[in-house]
Chains A and B, each alone.
Chain A
Amino acid sequence: MAFRGLKYYCSEAFKNIWYNKLMAITSIITVMSCLLIFGFFLVVQLNLNDITKQLEGQCEIQAFMPQEYNDEQAKQVCDKISVLPNVKSAILETRQQAYDNYKDTLGTAANVMENINPEEFLPASCKIRPNDISQLNELEAQVSAIEGVEEVINRRDTVNGVISVNSIIRNGCIIFAVLLALIAVFIISNTIKLDVHARQREIHIMKYVGATDWFIRWPFIIEGIIVGFLGAVVAILITLLISSLLLNALDSFGNIFQFRSSSDTMPLVSVVLLLFGVVIGALGSLVAVRKHLQV
């Protein structure tokens, strides 16, 4: 397709859109709605991914030693744990530290602890962070097998919960997006179909004077792409607006989870939405051209 051809195709495409303004606007709004919902899910997904990672970061297993183990013995056990393959960090918590930490949580009621001997209150333990969260079970087994480890506890259930919620949302998002995309493709193809019918006469004449099939098809395909593109641009602007409003509102929760700023997510979201818009538009027009443009 030579440049002169491209110019002609685009001008014809814009003429079509102008000629059929109302339908074009309807299609643009449809594409926009689809992409808007998709964009919203995408932003949520990106943040959930982050939160999962943050949770995974917090995920640790704790290996408790017998109550009678002193600091020296506990340190030796912790050292053994730290050289296991999937261990990111292994931090010793001595009996004294465990006692102090517990006391801290009591706040003003801490004085009830005064007569308790730290060496008899809580055992020493080792807090372990894994490199690979999915290998947690194996790590737990390896840690349990080490001599001097009496009990291993973990917070896997919470993390698994978040991970499965995350994947439910992700799958739902994909299904929803595909559904919406199909609707958008249908509506665009309908718009193009109307344009094809409106220009039936012209198409006929073009065929008689020897236009190639693709010469006739291109303006309609470009029309679909323009509609998809415009829908995406509007969707991006609205996503930008909503997500910055929402993030401001959520800022008060900022100390629990770190949300992504929109300047962080928007470049990716914009590219994805533009791509989707263009693909949806092109697909819609291809469907229409195949079905209604017997050239």
Chain B
Amino acid sequence: MIIFDNVTKVYDDNKTVALENLSFTVEKGEFVFLVGHSGAGKSSIIRMLLCEERPTSGKVIVNGFDIGTLSQKQIPELRRSLGVVFQDFRLLPNRTVYDNVAFAMHVVGAPTKQIRRRVPEVLSLVDLAHKARAYPSQLSGGEQQRVSMARALANNPSILIADEPTGNLDLKRSDEIMAILDRINQKGTTVVMATHAEKIVNSMQKRVITLDMGALVRDEEKGGYEVGI
């Protein structure tokens, strides 16, 4: 599913070494946390999975796409195989919940019939079927994040990528989000989630990859949150 092979990322503009000789693989159906202090390189990994950034050296393979050499034209194809969720939800404020989700399917050219069937399906998966006609501003933060998860899932991605999805939420809302992520993972979708929410990581008992200054310092099955000082 995901292979990082000796990956180094140096940002051109400020010569920051964001990732250094990083190697790990994620198999189909896994649930992986990326943890570490702010600036450890979590988002850099996420952006590389989406081919927003490319490795300076080393090899990154995602769903069979080689991120280092992927042509501009192939990027949409890669992204259609992924679902992505951000800390700030990134919903369209002038569209209803339903349309925010349908939009993602329109973009990839899904037939209208399929959109009508699929949108209610994913909305009920995140327990928001009753809010289909609401606008994002009428929802709580947790509900907005669930809408963005529904959108990420609409096109049936094989990997769900989440960058600090609970960063803007309190613990109770975060637990709801985690419960849904777990449910999605149970159904076979690979989940990669960057976070520095200690309690969440400890309670989930999933694989944890710990980063420090761009280097992998720990990779544990059923791990806990230990990032050092």
Contact B92 A205 (CB under 8 A): yes
Q: Are A210 and B80 in contact (CB under 8 A)?
A: yes
Instruction: Flag the segment in B25-33, B104-112, B118-126 that touches A.
Output: B104-112
B90 contacts A210, C-beta separation under 8 Å: no
Q: Is A3 an interface residue (CB 8 A)?
A: no
Which B residues touch A204, using CB under 8 A?
90
B147 proximal to A (CB < 8 A): no
Q: Which of A211-245 contact B (CB under 8 A)?
A: 211-213, 215
Bound: A209/B152 CA distance, A: 7
The 8 Å CB contact of B92, one of A201, A207, A208, A215, is A201
Q: For the complex, is A253 an interface residue (Cβ under 8 Å from B)?
A: no
Cross-chain contact B79 with A209 (CB below 8 angstroms): yes
Question: SS class of chain B's interface: helix, strand, loop or mixed?
Answer: helix
Check: B77 CB closer than 8 A to any chain A CB: yes
- B154 nearest CB neighbor, chain A only: A209
Q: Which residues of B contact A215 (CB under 8 A)?
A: 107, 109
* Alpha-carbon separation in the docked complex, A4 to B109 (Å): 9
Interface residue B72 (Cβ < 8 Å from any Cβ of A): yes
Q: Which of B68-121 contact A (CB under 8 A)?
A: 72-73, 76-80, 82, 84, 90, 92, 103-104, 106-109, 111-112
Contact across chains for A209 and B92 when beta carbons are under 8 A apart: no
The reply to whether the CB of A202 lies closer than 8 angstroms to some CB of chain B is: yes
Are A210 and B76 closer than 8 Å at their CB atoms?
A: yes
- Mark interface residues in A192-206 (1 if CB within 8 Å of B CB, else 0): 000000000110111
Q: Are B106 and A8 in contact (CB under 8 A)?
A: yes
* B158 is an interface residue with CB less than 8 A from chain A: no
Shortest beta-carbon distance from A207 to chain B in Å: 7
Q: Is B155 an interface residue (CB 8 A)?
A: yes
Q: Given A5-B109, A8-B106, A215-B107 in contact, is the A209-B90 Cβ separation under 8 Å?
A: no
Smallest CB separation, A195 vs chain B (Å):
14
Q: Tell me the bound Cα distance from A100 to B104 in angstroms.
A: 91
Residue pair A210, B77 in contact (C-beta under 8 Å): yes
Provide the residues of chain B in CB contact with A212, threshold 8 Å.
73, 76
Contact partners of B109 in chain A: CB under 8 A: 2, 4-5, 215
Bound together, the chains give a CA A71 to CA B58 distance in angstroms of: 104
Q: Is the CB of A205 within 8 A of B90?
A: yes
| B151 at interface by CB-CB < 8 Å | yes
B50 CB–A CB distance under 8 Å? yes
Q: How far is the CB of B206 from chain A (nearest CB, A)?
A: 24
Q: Give the CA-CA distance A71 to B85 in the complex, in Å.
A: 104
CA distance A2 to B78 in the complex (A): 22
Known A201-B92, A205-B90, A205-B92; judge A210-B107 contact (CB<8 A): yes
Considering the complex, give the chain B residue whose CB is closest to the CB of A8.
B106
For residue A221, give the distance in angstroms from its CB to the closest CB of chain B: 17
**B103 neighbours in A (Cβ, 8 Å):** 205-206, 209
CA A8 – CA B115 in complex, angstroms? 14
Kindly report which residue of chain A lies nearest to residue B86, judged by CB atoms. A208
A204 to B89, CA, bound (A): 12
| A208 x B84 contact (CB < 8 A) | yes
A211 engages B90 (CB within 8 Å)? no
CB-CB < 8 A to B50: which residues of A? 208
Q: A5-B109, A215-B107 are in contact. Are A208 and B79 (CB under 8 A)?
A: yes
**Contact yes or no, A209 B151, CB < 8 A:** yes
Q: How far is the CA of A212 from the CA of B73 in the complex (A)?
A: 8
Contact of A209 among B77, B104, B111, B112 (CB under 8 A): B104
- Chain A 1-21: CB-based contact to B (< 8 A → 1; otherwise 0): 010110010000000000000
9 shortest interchain CB distances as A-B pairs:
A210-B80, A210-B79, A211-B107, A209-B104, A210-B76, A212-B76, A206-B107, A209-B107, A208-B84
**15 intermolecular pairs with C-beta atoms under 8 Å apart:** A4-B112, A5-B109, A204-B90, A205-B103, A208-B50, A208-B90, A209-B80, A209-B84, A209-B155, A210-B76, A210-B79, A210-B82, A210-B107, A211-B76, A211-B107
Q: Beyond A209-B151, A213-B73: 18 further Cβ-contacts under 8 Å?
A: A2-B109, A4-B109, A4-B112, A5-B109, A201-B92, A202-B92, A204-B90, A205-B103, A208-B50, A209-B84, A209-B155, A210-B107, A210-B108, A210-B155, A211-B107, A211-B108, A212-B76, A213-B76
Seen from chain B, the residues whose Cβ lies within 8 Å of a Cβ on chain A are: 50, 72-73, 76-80, 82, 84, 90, 92, 103-104, 106-109, 111-112, 151-152, 154-155
* A residues apposed to B, CB below 8 Å: 2, 4-5, 8, 201-202, 204-213, 215
